[in-house]
């Protein structure tokens, strides 16, 4: 039994899907004193993404928001462009991990079969297993124009991240990707041990909820590598803001995709690397 892409996924298992975090015993040495207690740390589970029962990728990820992960990964890998192209989804716990079993509409399945691309990698690597160097620099779509924001709203959006990260508040060990709009504030946030996975989960949630990326800003708690920009481009996000710096390749790809890339977004300001016209900056007069 399976369900349509528009409904809730079926959970089938040889065992329960593990929680997102687990309590582990530890010995603590701080300030010259020794103590023993338990600490919550995030789970990291092998997750296989399969299409019509053929494995396409195996990633290490936090076992939460898995339906969003299935849709978001499929979008960022250009397997699908709309939710209805996944006709069914099963989340299956197996002895070695979790399988996200998707059934694709026939045209999408035919296109995927022609590509014959296989990915396999850990949560920290978004490009492992590519079968050619050229595949790392795949052509990404150009994003729509999107809105324009004042600098103070960019900072306000970033300040909204920390209070909305329950798993990181518990473990201090996961990344977040979020979508913020001037009308709604923080509309969606997803967390994962892998920054790529967090963005895929956010993309899937936005796709499933029908949210337009052009209406807001994608926020990241990580650095911006080229694959993060590629995922943002396939999502169609015109503005990408991160707490850390981008790589040079990420800047070049963001520029080509029409993405406004903002990095090093901290309490005292931020740095705009590409397409600065979407960020309305007003210089504060210097007082001697």
Q: Is residue 212 part of a domain?
A: yes
**Distance from CA of residue 226 to its chain's centroid?**
13
Phi, psi torsion values for 167, nearest 5 degrees: -70, -40
Are 270 and 156 contained in the same domain? Answer: yes
Query: What is the tens place of the pLDDT at every residue in 243-252?
Result: 999 999 999 9
Are the C-beta atoms of 165 and 235 separated by less than 8 Å? no
Average pLDDT, the chain: 90
Distance of CA 126 to the CA centre of its chain: 11
In this structure, are 110 and 178 located in the same domain?
no
Instruction: Look at phi and psi of residue 283 and say left if phi exceeds 0, alpha if psi is from -120 to 50, else beta.
Output: beta
Please, are residues 57 and 48 in contact by the beta-carbon 8 Å criterion? yes
Token pair 């001697």 is found at 288
Both 228 and 204 in one domain: the answer is: yes
Residue 285 placed within a domain: no
Q: Residue 216 above 90 pLDDT?
A: yes
Q: Which of 86, 73, 92 is nearest to 199 (CA)?
A: 73
Q: How confident is the model at residue 115 (pLDDT cuts 50, 70, 90)?
A: confident
Number of domains into which the chain is organized: 2
* 70 close to 47: Cβ distance less than 8 angstroms: no
| Per-residue three-class SS string for 199-256 | HHHHHHHHHHHCCCHHHCEEEECCCECHHHHHHHHHHCCCEEEECCCECHHHHHHHHH
Separation CA 35–CA 42 (nearest Å): 22
Residue 288 lies in a domain: no
Q: Is residue 4 a part of any domain in this protein?
A: no
Domain match, 177 and 250 both = yes
Last residue of a domain, one of 136, 168, 200: 136
Given 125, 153, 164, 214, the catalytic residue? 125
Domain with 179 in it? 149-280
Evaluate whether residue 31 is within a structural domain. Answer: yes
Percent of the chain with pLDDT over 70: 85
Boundary of a domain, candidates 109, 136, 163 = 136
- In whole angstroms, what separates CA 89 from the centre of its chain? 19
For the entire predicted model, the pTM comes to 0.90
- Which pLDDT band holds residue 12 (cuts at 50, 70, 90)? low
Task: Specify whether the CB–CB gap between 218 and 247 falls below 8 A.
Answer: no
Q: How many CB atoms lie within 10 A of CB 106?
A: 11
Q: Are residues 79 and 181 in the same domain?
A: no
CATH, residue 18: 3.10.20.10
Are residue 24 and residue 129 in the same domain, yes or no?
A: yes
Residue ending a domain, among 136, 161, 195, is 136
Which residues on adjacent β-strands are paired with residue 58?
A: 48, 120
pLDDT in the model for residue 247: 97
Question: For tokens 């090093």, what's the residue?
Answer: 264
Place of tokens 């993309």: 203
- 160 and 275, same structural domain? yes
pLDDT at 114: 84
Residues 127 and 175 in one domain: no
Assigned domain for 286 exists: no
pLDDT class for 11, splitting at 50, 70, 90? low
Q: What is the pLDDT of residue 155?
A: 97
Residue 69's CB is within 10 A of a number of other CB atoms, namely 29
125 among known catalytic residues: yes
Whether 68 and 19 map to the same domain: the answer is yes
Residues 171 and 214 in one domain: yes
- Say if residue 156 is in the same domain as residue 116: no
Q: Categorize the per-residue pLDDT at 9 as very low, low, confident or very high, splitting at 50, 70 and 90.
A: low
128 versus 100: which is more confidently predicted?
100
Verify that 160 and 130 share a domain, yes or no: no
User: Domain of 192: which CATH number?
Assistant: 3.40.140.10
């Amino acid at each position: 039994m399976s369900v349509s892409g528009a409904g809730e996924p079926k959970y089938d298992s040889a065992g329960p899907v593990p929680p997102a975090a687990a309590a582990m015993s530890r010995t603590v040495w701080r300030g010259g004193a020794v103590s023993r207690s338990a600490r919550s740390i995030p789970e990291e589970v092998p997750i296989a993404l399969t299409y019509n029962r053929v494995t396409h990728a195996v990633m290490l990820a936090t076992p939460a928001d898995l339906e969003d992960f299935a849709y978001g990964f499929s979008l960022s890998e250009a397997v699908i462009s709309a939710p209805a192209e996944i006709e069914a989804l099963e989340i299956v716990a197996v002895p070695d991990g979790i399988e996200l079993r998707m059934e694709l509409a026939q045209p999408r399945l035919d296109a995927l079969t022609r590509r014959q691309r296989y990915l396999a990698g850990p949560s920290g690597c978004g490009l492992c297993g590519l079968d050619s160097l050229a595949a790392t620099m795949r052509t990404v779509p150009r994003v729509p124009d999107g809105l324009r924001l004042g600098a103070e709203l960019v900072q306000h959006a970033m300040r909204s991240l920390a209070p909305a990260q329950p798993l990181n508040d518990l473990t201090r060990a996961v990344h977040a990707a979020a979508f913020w709009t001037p009308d709604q504030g923080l509309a969606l946030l997803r967390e994962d041990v892998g920054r790529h996975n967090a963005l895929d989960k956010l993309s899937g949630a936005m796709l499933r909820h029908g949210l337009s990326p052009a209406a807001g800003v994608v926020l990241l708690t990580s650095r911006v590598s080229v694959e993060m920009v590629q995922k943002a481009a396939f999502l169609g996000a015109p503005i990408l803001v991160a707490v850390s710096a981008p790589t040079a390749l990420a800047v070049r790809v963001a520029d080509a995709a029409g993405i406004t890339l903002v990095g090093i977004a901290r309490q005292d300001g931020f740095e705009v690397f590409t397409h600065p016209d979407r960020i309305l900056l007003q210089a504060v007069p210097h007082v001697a």
